[in-house]
Amino acid sequence: MEPRKVDIFDTTLRDGEQVPGASLNRDEKLQIAHQLAHLGVDVIEAGFAASSPGDFAAIKTIAEQVKGPTITALARAVKADIEAVAEAVKPAERKRIHMVLGTSDTHLETKFRKSRDEILEMGVAAVKFARNLCDDIEYSTEDASRSDFDYLCRTLEAVIDAGATVVNIPDTVGYAVPEQWGDLIRRIIERVPNIHRAKVSVHCHNDLGMATANSLAAVKAGAQQVECTINGVGERAGNASLEEIVMAIKMRGDFYGGRTGIRTQEIYPTSLMVRELMNMPVQRNKAIVGANAFAHSSGIHQDGFLKNRLNYEIMRPEDVGIEKSDIVLTARSGRHALRHRLEKVGHYYDASHREAFEHIYARFLTVADRKKEVTDEDLHHIVSDAPMDVPEQYLLEDFHATSGSQQAATAHVRIHISGESIAESGTGSSPLLAAFDAIDRITKLPSHLEDIQTSANGKEGVHNVTVRVSYHTQTFFGRSADTDVVKAGIQAYLSSLNQLVARHSGLL
């Protein structure tokens, strides 16, 4: 039997953006919305139209420019909010009005101070009003997990009769547990007589760490749409994580009997974009997209993985857009992992080099006991028996860099070499590359710049730069940090070149 389609409703730009410090401007929202469309989500909730003129404008721009998914925005069950959403999403190829109104006694008594009948009448009237403006109406019963079951079913039946095409059942405060939540969705589908006229959706929060599990329990029980966010961003502890839900359905389709339309290879690039634009990093052990999701550090695991990936990985990193699995060298790594990484950086040891390899392994363990992780740079030092502190043959004395929108960047760098100061100027597409050009003119080394990685600590204002330089089959890494990104880059580049000349003193 063909697996049933489960719609992915992405609310990164609405619920996800409500996180303090994660707000996005219109261009940033548009950038993420285009990527979500490329990812293949079915619905993009682009914001809360009535909240501000800026959010309204961003929603409208997304509706005008982003093709493929249904575009929606959130409204309270009041005419002004509904009209704002209708106007904002009007240019979209496919549009939806999404409204929310509480159904729990807690919300009714303390938030709205209305009776159940009054709230029900308010919801029905809102759906009828919205249906005159748009054919696709989603109705969310806020705080459904703490609502009276009979009243919840009565509400769903009434709003479907009024014209709702999607009914969303939210676990607004993350109160539900998977067994209960799946049972609730199953009972709703069995109890509400007109439920077949609307899609059943769920929206789960992560206050108890069960948003993904609850969402999947709902899918198993028959839910046809899951509301979620990239990286699980959202209010308080966050929302259900899109990447976790999608990959669980993909990997365990036999159990859930469902499929999504997501292009899973775009998961990791989308995750990186959201992290950067929202300034919201994810923990290293985050499922699917964390730095350690496809990394192996235990010697037993590394050995098993290298013999057969399936021993310790149920997914291929390529399936979610990650280039490859990572063997992390630590004090717990064994000989198999060390030999594998040495080969990756150009050092090969077969059976005839057993004594030399054992010497290297002993040195590796000494270094690994002092460091959390042994890098490729460390491996080069270990193999060469070079001291870990590289002499500074090239020492930065001064630099100046400029750039403009209409011309190439320029840099002037002065370096101390063997008792004298040498200065040169260089050009490039960025101040950093211009500085590197100036350094190359000074050193005249036959090296090649392979890669530059930069990251910033927003709170401290410090830029971390890593530079990778190659010489024949050898690779050298330089790292530095400074509040000036160009200075950090220059120091990292000189560090890599100092390692190169320390290894090949005839080049100086």
Name beta bridge partners: 226: 8, 202
- pLDDT of 386 reads 41
In tens, the pLDDT along 55-85 reads: 999 999 999 999 999 999 999 999 999 999 9
pLDDT for 107 beyond 80: yes
Q: What homologous superfamily is domain 4-278 in, according to CATH?
A: Aldolase class I (3.20.20.70)
Token match 């995750």: residue? 271
Q: How confident is the model at residue 499 (pLDDT cuts 50, 70, 90)?
A: confident
- pLDDT of 310 reads 75
Please tell me the total number of residues recorded for the chain in this structure.
Answer: 508
How high is the mean pLDDT of the chain? 89
CA dihedral 189, 191, 195, 201 (to 10 degrees): -40
In tens, the pLDDT along 23-55 reads: 899 999 999 999 999 999 999 999 999 999 999
Amino acid at the residue 311: N
CATH code, 394-507: 3.30.160.270
Q: How confident is the model at residue 294 (pLDDT cuts 50, 70, 90)?
A: confident
- pLDDT of 325 reads 65
121 vs 1: which has the higher pLDDT? 121
At 469 the three-state DSSP class reads strand
- Let me know: does 475 contact 450? Beta carbons within 8 Å: yes
Of the ranges 121-125, 336-340, 454-458, the best mean pLDDT one:
121-125
DSSP 36-72: HHHHT-SEEEEEETTS-HHHHHHHHHHHHH--SSEEE
- pLDDT of 462 reads 82
| Over residues 228-233, mean pLDDT | 97
In tens, the pLDDT along 343-377 reads: 776 677 777 677 878 888 888 888 888 877 787 76
- pLDDT of 34 reads 96
- pLDDT of 252 reads 94
Domain spans in the chain, listed from the N-terminal domain onward: 4-278, 298-384, 394-507
Q: For residues 394 and 95, what is the distance between their CA atoms, to the nearest angstrom?
A: 61
| Over residues 441-461, mean pLDDT | 83
Burial-class residue 406 by CB neighbours within 10 Å (0-12, 13-18, 19+).
Answer: exposed
Burial-class residue 83 by CB neighbours within 10 Å (0-12, 13-18, 19+).
Answer: middle
- pLDDT of 387 reads 41
- pLDDT of 240 reads 97
Tokens of 94: 């496919």
Helix axes of 376-384 and 354-370: crossing angle, nearest 10 degrees: 130
DSSP 171-205: ETTS---HHHHHHHHHHHHHH-TTGGGSEEEEEEB
Which residue, among 85, 38, 35, 39, has the nearest Cα to 63 in the 3D structure? 85
Which residue, among 16, 47, 46, 9, has the nearest Cα to 205 in the 3D structure? 16
| Over residues 187-200, mean pLDDT | 98
Rounded to a whole number of angstroms, the CA Rg of the chain reads: 28
